[in-house]
Amino acid sequence: MKYSKIQTGCIDGFKVENILVEIDINSRSTQQTFKIVGMPSTSVLESEKRVLSAIRNTGFSIPNGSIVANLSPTSMKKEGSHFDLPIAISLLEASRQIKELDKNYFIFGELGLNGEVRPVHGIALFLMFIKELNKEAKFIIPKGNQEESAFVSKKDVLVIENLRDIESISLGIIDKFEPFYERSNEIFYDIDFQEIRGQIFAKRAVEIAASGFHNVLMKGTPGSGKTMIAKRVPTILPDMTREEIIESTMLYSVAGYMNFIVNRRPFRSPHHTASSASIIGGGAIPKPGEISLAHNGVLFMDEFPEYRADVIEALRQPLEDGEVVVTRAKSVAKFPAKFMLIASQNPCPCGYYGDKEIECTCSMNQIVNYNKKISGPIMDRIDIRIDVPRVKIEELMSKEEGESSKKIKERVSKTAQIQIRRQGKLNGKLSNKELKKVANLTDKAENFLKQASMNLKLTARSVNRIIKISRTIADSFESRNIEINHVSEALNYRGTR
Ligand SMILES: Nc1ncnc2c1ncn2[C@@H]1O[C@H](COP(=O)(O)OP(=O)(O)O)[C@@H](O)[C@H]1O
Ligand SMILES: [Mg+2]
């Protein structure tokens, strides 16, 4: 019998299914054929040509007879070009051209016609997922993907550049693996908070938002610096934890980013004309969208009311659960999507309502409608809402530098630590029930809030949001209780709706 099997995998949403590649060669058959079965998609069927050429062009030979490659389990549709290498290696084993490999190897790689092994999508997910379930697992991956193995022990991974090398690997001659990923302790950005002139109020609001991972809506005339502020938020967020780095790297890997280690908080800003699939996630083979690429970082939605209504509504579930469920005809995929939403908008369609110098040309109706475009359930998830007016020209020209991102980040990290220690998560992610347990409003603060909510006709929901923000403000002062001054500051960030 000329038979061999090699393990590999297939991506299914944010999971990996183990796939067994089996090769059977019937050398008594007078026909020379090669067939791939086991629900291969068209992309996998193309493998056939690449595998045969690569084998021929690397000095190996194509065995006589009829060859069948089976991808098991056959119930699952197989996608991707990474089956080339396991199929080719299995074929070489079955025809005894190489020594059998250790059966704990999981193999991934696309082949060029010349035998070159090319990088593929999803390696970070394959490695982390398979290793989690199978401690014995070892891997052979394309050299072009090697950085994605940063989180797996070096001794379990071999990189390969050309199919030719499989012979030396099978003989145990190649077994070295170069270290390549050292996490630098300091992350550098080429932008900094200190470049923002004035905007003391907005900067403080955004610092509080960052400290508790609260969502923010900034309203202001064009050119007031909203985009500038949003872009700098990742520079003040705490460093990513190892778990966060791994999870984000896996998401980027599935999305098709190769050799990309996400070691700084992502900042994503999809345009409002982008498709729902690209923002939320989707496609025939479900792929993560922008909201998942923003996982552990910032999702900036500029001109918020301009996004398609279905896109805005689809944000509701991720804003609540920190993950998104993408449903397609035959599959359901769940991707993490825990991001800090920073939305910005003009105060009205023309942009200048409330501006001190330029006159607004909108009717009252237009202004009201524009501001109503975002539905209540979405607005409910935006804790901090502020006006960002344009700064005066003198202020813009001033040489006086503000505080550096580094300094603000230290405070933010400290405030975040307090929350994690107390409740295992940041205040922005607390449910109302959880918030009640940790709020600790002093009697005075509670009375003050009651009075304020009557005077300002606040809804129960906005009162909850104010308590949540007050909690983060109190934490920023390392105060166990929420005092009057914390509530009073929080009231400034409640917006008009
Ligand atoms: N407070 C500020 N400090 C420094 N530069 C500013 C400030 N506000 C605006 N600018 C300048 O104006 C430009 C436009 O700002 P931007 O952030 O794009 O405004 P918006 O997004 O509100 O329309 C910025 O690139 C920056 O050069
Ligand atoms: Mg802008």
Q: How far is the CA of 307 from the centre of ligand 2 (A)?
A: 14
Q: Whose structure tokens read 């909850």?
A: 464
**Which residues contact residue 208 at a Cβ distance below 8 angstroms, ignoring those fewer than 6 apart?**
214, 384, 469, 472, 473, 476, 493
In a domain, 98, yes or no: yes
Residues 56 and 7 in one domain: yes
Residues 434 and 412 in one domain: no
CATH number of the domain where residue 253 is located = 3.40.50.300
Residues 218 and 251 in one domain: yes
Please, what's the b/e burial string for 137-175 (b: 16 or more CB within 10 A of its CB; e: otherwise)? bbbbbbbbbbebbbbbeeebbbbbebbbbbbebbeeeee
Find the ligand nearest to 392 CA: 1
Rounded-to-integer distance, Cα 324 and Cα 408, Å: 31
Residues 413 and 439 in one domain: no
Asked which of 84-88, 251-255, 377-381 is least confident by mean pLDDT, the reply is: 377-381
Q: What is the mean pLDDT of the chain?
A: 93
pLDDT at 372 over 90: no
* Triad 54, 68, 83: Cα angle to 5°: 50
Rounded-to-integer distance, Cα 252 and Cα 295, Å: 10
Instruction: Report the pLDDT value the prediction gives residue 397, as an integer from 0 to 100.
Output: 84
In a domain, 318, yes or no: yes
Residues 221 and 298 in one domain: yes
Q: How far is the CA of 347 from the centre of ligand 2 (A)?
A: 13
| DSSP run (H or E) holding 356 | none
In a domain, 393, yes or no: yes
Instruction: Report the pLDDT value the prediction gives residue 176, as an integer from 0 to 100.
Output: 55
Please report the atom of ligand 1 found closest to the CA of residue 196.
Answer: 3
pLDDT tens track for 226-268: 999 999 999 999 999 999 999 999 999 999 999 999 999 999 9
In a domain, 177, yes or no: no
pLDDT tens track for 258-274: 999 999 999 999 999 99
- Ligand 1 pocket, residue 391 CB under 6 Å: yes
In a domain, 297, yes or no: yes
Please report the atom of ligand 1 found closest to the CA of residue 302.
Answer: 21
Whole-number percent of the chain with pLDDT over 90? 81
CATH number of the domain where residue 477 is located = 1.10.8.60
pLDDT at 387 over 90: yes
Q: How far is CA 433 from the centre of its chain?
A: 28
Q: How far is the CA of 293 from the centre of ligand 2 (A)?
A: 21
Rounded-to-integer distance, Cα 483 and Cα 440, Å: 9
Residues 238 and 307 in one domain: yes
Instruction: Report the pLDDT value the prediction gives residue 182, as an integer from 0 to 100.
Output: 57
Rounded-to-integer distance, Cα 422 and Cα 420, Å: 5
Instruction: Report the pLDDT value the prediction gives residue 354, as an integer from 0 to 100.
Output: 85
- Ligand 1 pocket, residue 200 CB under 6 Å: no
Residues 154 and 22 in one domain: yes
Domain final residue pick, 365, 394, 423 = 423
Residues 442 and 416 in one domain: no
- Ligand 1 pocket, residue 59 CB under 6 Å: no
In a domain, 222, yes or no: yes
pLDDT at 100 over 90: yes
Q: How far is the CA of 223 from the centre of ligand 2 (A)?
A: 7
Residues 392 and 443 in one domain: no
CATH number of the domain where residue 88 is located = 3.30.230.10
> Would you say 191 and 85 are in contact if contact means Cβ atoms under 8 Å apart?
no
Q: How confident is residue 495, by pLDDT bands cut at 50, 70 and 90?
A: confident
Q: How far is the CA of 274 from the centre of ligand 2 (A)?
A: 17
Residues 136 and 217 in one domain: no
Domain final residue pick, 399, 423, 447 = 423
Q: How confident is residue 73, by pLDDT bands cut at 50, 70 and 90?
A: very high
In a domain, 188, yes or no: no
Q: Look at the chain and report how many structural domains it folds into.
A: 3
Asked which of 61-70, 259-268, 280-289, 322-331 is least confident by mean pLDDT, the reply is: 322-331
Find the ligand nearest to 269 CA: 2
pLDDT at 186 over 70: no
Range ranked top by mean pLDDT from 174-188, 224-238, 274-288, 389-403? 224-238
Domain membership of residue 219 as a residue range:
193-423
pLDDT at 4 over 90: yes
- Ligand 1 pocket, residue 392 CB under 6 Å: no
Rounded-to-integer distance, Cα 465 and Cα 432, Å: 9
Residues 456 and 474 in one domain: yes
SS3 call for 72: strand
- Ligand 1 pocket, residue 470 CB under 6 Å: no
What average pLDDT does this structure show over 403-427?
97
Residues 394 and 438 in one domain: no
In a domain, 240, yes or no: yes
pLDDT tens track for 444-483: 999 999 999 999 999 898 999 999 999 999 999 999 999 9
Q: How far is the CA of 202 from the centre of ligand 1 (A)?
A: 13
Which tokens go with 248? 């984000």
SS3 call for 67: strand
Domain final residue pick, 170, 204, 224 = 170
- Ligand 1 pocket, residue 225 CB under 6 Å: yes
